Amino acid sequence: MDRIIFHIDVNSAFLSWESAYRIHHLGGTLDLRDIPSAIGGDVAMRHGIILAKSIPAKPYGIKTGMTIVEARQKCPKLYLAPPNYSLYQRCSNAFLSILREYTPDTEVYSIDESFLDMTTTVHLFGEPVEVAHMIKDRIRNELGFTVNVGISSNKLLAKMASEFRKPDLVHTLFPEEIETKMWPLPVSELFFCGRATTKKLLNMGINTISDLAHTDIELLKSHLKKQGEIMWAFANGLDFSSVVSETPAQKGYGNSTTTPYDVTDIETAQKVLLALCETVAARLRKDNFQAQVISLGIKSFDLKYNSHQMIMKNPTNITIELYHYSCRLFAELWDKHTPIRHLAVHTTSLLPGKALRQMDLFDITDYARLETVDKTIDSIRFRYGNDAVKRAIFANTFNTKRRLIDHMEGGVSREKRTVDYSELKVV
């Protein structure tokens, strides 16, 4: 049986979800999807980039990842809305709930897109194109936002199909349609073909996906190594990966944060590291893991990134112990002069449950007590919120008007987790 794969992608997800929420729940009348608009972070907090844009913003040259300053220069009347990740997660869950009614073989590819293997279930609902329209229309009518659906016999072609003309459309791209629908496209539009690879291909005189598909694979491998072989296969519509409905096993836990100002002293840097270790350790404990390896990353004011890692003496998920090792790595990595813009703490080599601890005659730390304290703090925060307990060093380092250093840094920053719509003018 030929496989039937759907790729379903929310159109301008963050912006669509924000617009639908304002219209259906806040009584707004302005649809952000119909005007030049975008979702953008807080420039003052150095999160000032475009996270999502409307289709009418595209002709102005507005792109995801562009700074807000640059976007404003291109489109002075660009409407900006703040990010609201708690809303996005609720919308994503509702989106996935509908998809799973049609097949259990649903792979969450990102917060706003999924692959569906409809091979064994599509006949229960109708023909593939008919079913795709059914799903698309249900999402629009029940949830208030639109999606594109790509249909093919493999994941690559289904994803390419969903990227064709938007919004609210269904497209097919079966192998027999590659020559007419995919090959004429610029090589930059091929999935997995990033800017660096595109530049190399253009320098080789490869301008379209058709050019790439008909290029000698050995020539591509000589210029791009393994990447060249992958690009050639994709250009010819070859992809044998399966839809994976089970979430892959966790391989590591980490968090990072962009500081609201350049950090130039070790005391502030260590405070940020403690805040990062607080969240990383809490996640390890929540999933009942201990980590054996810890790594530290530093991005300087000029966006240069360096990292360092080490094997810890014992596997652990104790906050203070992770903090101790991260400070050691920081002392070895930082030159004490270069201003710091971004810090990251990551742990790997995970062990489930509680590993045995190697005893040390010269270490008098009461690790059992530290574990008990951490678990108690976790339970209080779970019941009353993360701010119910914080370390004294973080007293008065955070307020709602000007964010300095949160006592639990990393992941989705606090100002992006929710939005106070009472302070916004929703029209």
Among all residues, which ones are annotated catalytic? 113
What is the Cα–Cα distance from 287 to 97, expressed in whole angstroms? 24
What is the Cα–Cα distance from 154 to 141, expressed in whole angstroms? 28
Q: Please check whether residue 168 is in contact with residue 140, taking contact to mean a CB–CB distance below 8 angstroms.
A: yes
Q: Please check whether residue 170 is in contact with residue 151, taking contact to mean a CB–CB distance below 8 angstroms.
A: yes
Q: Please check whether residue 426 is in contact with residue 26, taking contact to mean a CB–CB distance below 8 angstroms.
A: yes
What is the Cα–Cα distance from 192 to 224, expressed in whole angstroms? 13
Q: Please check whether residue 46 is in contact with residue 260, taking contact to mean a CB–CB distance below 8 angstroms.
A: yes
Q: Which residues pair with 194 in a beta bridge?
A: none
| Phi then psi dihedrals of residue 53, to 5 deg | -135, 155
Count the neighbouring beta carbons within 10 Å of the beta carbon of residue 350: 20
Terminus-to-terminus CA distance in the chain, angstroms?
52
**For residue 28, how far is the Cα from the chain centroid?**
28
* Non-local CB neighbours of 177 within 8 Å, separated by 6+ positions: none
